[in-house]
A and B are shown apart, each in its own frame.
Chain A
């Protein structure tokens, strides 16, 4: 440790300048302020104690990626100067109903209390992901947070209702960002829904971003229009599906400088604002007032009237880099003329209703594409095949700079995946979901081993991988051998036995997040990863062949791992087998609020 140097300073040195260690701390803090990337910060904090101190004092952006891993008190002691805090809760598989509700319903409460008591005095911005937040939590926050608090965003959260939003709106005077994205808010009786939009204070607001696309009840339009009218700084607006095209046009007239617009239904409705609405008016709304130069991102289209799709073409042609059409089941006929205009797209989310021809067209026009999601219109194993290996191969031919892809299909071939591995060397995220479980290459009949093997071999920057289809242990041998940068791995219905899991745990040295469901992996496979688990954020294994003994062994040898056994079917008690294993490292030890279906070893 470098502190030893200070002890050897000559005793007769004049003290005109401050002592070396203090200078060092000041310099360090000044320099470290420029260090933004979380991994760099973590690395800097491990150098020595003074670096650790300096980094902790200067960290403004704190990410607690597992809310159960550290207590708010501990976080506040170490990072007193945090401006922005990100908290993540549930594991991702909870999104697909694999985790019973109420798994960690009160995990946020101590954090809310900490925020309310100014444990983080510099707190300006809070982002919550997959966390249960109650209306009471929001009310507490709203009444306690200082006016310097500016940003609140919820992603995939639940547990609150319009009442909580109303508290926030009425009490957080300095609020600049209120984003509620993909949240499952509580159901409310129609006559009990709070008009949170009207709860914002009178006079100009500081709102820069307001997104409520997922809010299910209708928001009174007059209040919404009034709010938007008095929010001159608004740059991002996302409305819910009840806002009609005519109403959207009115809102757009009030916000000429929008960079992001969530368009609601994108269909004319029965509202007063839709009287006499025609295509020309909407086209005008999207192409006038320099809109083409500012609007860069569009989403919504929750009930798209297809004839209106081309009205956004001028914007698309000029400046649109991000487009989310994943709620709009457009056909190839509707899609082709439109996508031809979208030369600048970098991020695109579509439904597979556009079919292979739509994807081929997209690949030929959108040369700058980096992020693509092709989501299923009909998310069932036996649904009709709308996109296939043809689409995937075309994408790889056209979009050479692709960095991230999520592709749902019914069947796939190794050849197409191998082609993508060669054509898209920049890939960091490759998530292929062949919806038919255990489907092999449908042309050769072989398992999909070679395809995924090629991805890990040829895409050296790959950090996230999701597999599907019929995979033998060989696929995992490849992943373990070549997937040296892989940090997040999702595996489902794959592998032949424990050896596959062993390949992963012993090969993927950077692995941090592992999600496995319904694979024939048992205790031997699990135990082969003991050397590595402390380096991981979490391991999820459900529907596998683990036993209580195996999991107890892990818990015994790794005291800092919290090993949770979750029973997703309380009706059918299984005495020895393990339903869900969810284990994560934590500084706080086992949590106290444990629902009856969870056992912590």
Chain B
């Protein structure tokens, strides 16, 4: 799916990093390695949830808390997502104040789990032309465009039956931004994309040509 376009955009993102304004100490970069908790038996392949790592990114804070591990604690994600807002209300003294700032700003009204935009997750609908049903993904789960693209590929290529017969670059991943415009995914820095993306749509090549051709 617009692999060429997206990787080009990814390179752009890498260049932009150098000029990006950040609050971190010089040299304090978002690390790719997950900090492994002390005295774990073999590290295995615990995937830290990218979304949580983002919350714990030390801007001016002491070392981040333990990286969250997939499927732990063993609570269904539906349940976890129900109480994203309640959990911020119950925390009286915040040990990591940066984590809370954006969450406190969100209205403390309990929203039904179906709503997007809750502090801990950012669910957007993703549709693909020709697919029988839509999916919802949490943009906060992904550190960047590459992970997002991989997740979308694994979600949607199954619809075409034999995955090897489908060429990802036949597809373009687009999104609808706050203004209602249809944009190609990958043009803007990932963080900006996350804050403006309302929903995503994977289009077949013929429709996408007009949008992405200059990058290919």
Contacts and interface: CB of A to CB of B under 8 A. Distances in A.
A31 to B, nearest CB: 43
Contacts of B60: none
Contact of B83 (A377, A517, A569): A377
A378 B90 contact: yes
B125 A187 contact: yes
A188 B132 CA distance: 10
Given A303-B112, A377-B87, A381-B66, A519 B41 contact: yes
A34 interface: no
B10 to A, nearest CB: 15
B68 A100 contact: no
B197 to A, nearest CB: 16
A378 B45 contact: no
A326 B78 CA distance: 12
Contacts, number: 136
B110 A303 contact: yes
Interface in B111-136: 112-114, 125, 127, 132-136
A189 B150 contact: no
Contacts of B44: 518, 543-544
Given A98-B70, A520-B42, A187 B163 contact: no
A433 interface: yes
B114, B133, B136, B158, most chain A CB atoms within 10 A: B133
Given A186-B134, A353-B90, A569-B47, A381 B68 contact: yes
B45, B127, B163, most chain A CB atoms within 10 A: B45
B24 interface: no
Given A437-B69, A438-B40, A187 B134 contact: yes
A489 interface: no
Interface string A37-74: 00000000000000000000000000000000000000
A307 interface: no
B184 to A, nearest CB: 22
A101, A380, A435, A568, most chain B CB atoms within 10 A: A380
Interface string B17-43: 000000000000000000001011110
Interface string A74-118: 000000000000000000010111101110010000000000000
B133 A188 contact: yes
Interface stretch (A165-173, A553-561, A571-579): A571-579
B93 to A, nearest CB: 9
Nearest to A241: B112
B157 to A, nearest CB: 9
A378 B81 CA distance: 10
A335 interface: no
Contact of B72 (A96, A101, A327, A377): A96
B65 interface: yes
A156 to B, nearest CB: 8
B77 interface: yes
Interface in B96-155: 110, 112-114, 125, 127, 132-136, 150, 154-155
B71 A570 contact: no
Interface size class of B (residues with CB under 8 A): 35 or more
A572 B39 CA distance: 24
A101 B78 CA distance: 15
Interface string B38-57: 01111011110000000000
A188 B134 contact: yes
A356 to B, nearest CB: 15
A161 interface: yes
A438 B90 contact: no
Given A184-B78, A596-B163, A380 B73 contact: yes
B74 A96 contact: yes
A384 interface: yes
Contacts of B82: 302, 327
A132 to B, nearest CB: 12
A251 to B, nearest CB: 19
B178 interface: no
Given A376-B73, A384-B90, A518-B46, A216 B110 contact: no
A595 B158 contact: yes
Given A98-B71, A100-B154, A493 B90 contact: no
A492 B44 CA distance: 13
Interface string A334-368: 00000000000000000001000000000000000
Contact of A96 (B39, B75, B90, B91): B75
B80 interface: yes
A493 B155 CA distance: 29
B112 A101 contact: no
A134 B74 CA distance: 27
Contacts of B160: none
B114 A97 contact: no
A408 interface: yes
A382 interface: yes
B86 interface: yes
A93 B73 CA distance: 11
Nearest to B150: A571
Contacts of B39: 438
Contacts of B68: 380-381
A182 interface: yes
A579 B47 CA distance: 12
A547 interface: no
B136 A378 contact: no
Contacts of A437: 37, 40, 66, 69, 72
A242 B111 CA distance: 11
A375 B75 contact: yes
A253 to B, nearest CB: 25
A379 interface: yes
A571 B149 CA distance: 11
A353 B86 CA distance: 10
21 contacts: A95-B76, A96-B70, A96-B76, A96-B77, A135-B132, A182-B78, A187-B135, A329-B90, A376-B73, A378-B90, A380-B87, A383-B87, A384-B90, A408-B75, A433-B73, A435-B73, A437-B72, A438-B37, A543-B45, A568-B47, A568-B70
Interface of A: 93, 95-98, 100-102, 105, 134-135, 161, 182, 184, 186-189, 214, 216, 241-242, 302-303, 326-327, 329, 353, 375-384, 386, 408, 433, 435, 437-438, 492-493, 495, 517-520, 543-545, 568-572, 574, 579, 595-596
Give the 6 A-B residue pairs with the shortest CB-CB distance, closest first: A96-B71, A520-B41, A378-B87, A543-B44, A186-B133, A379-B75
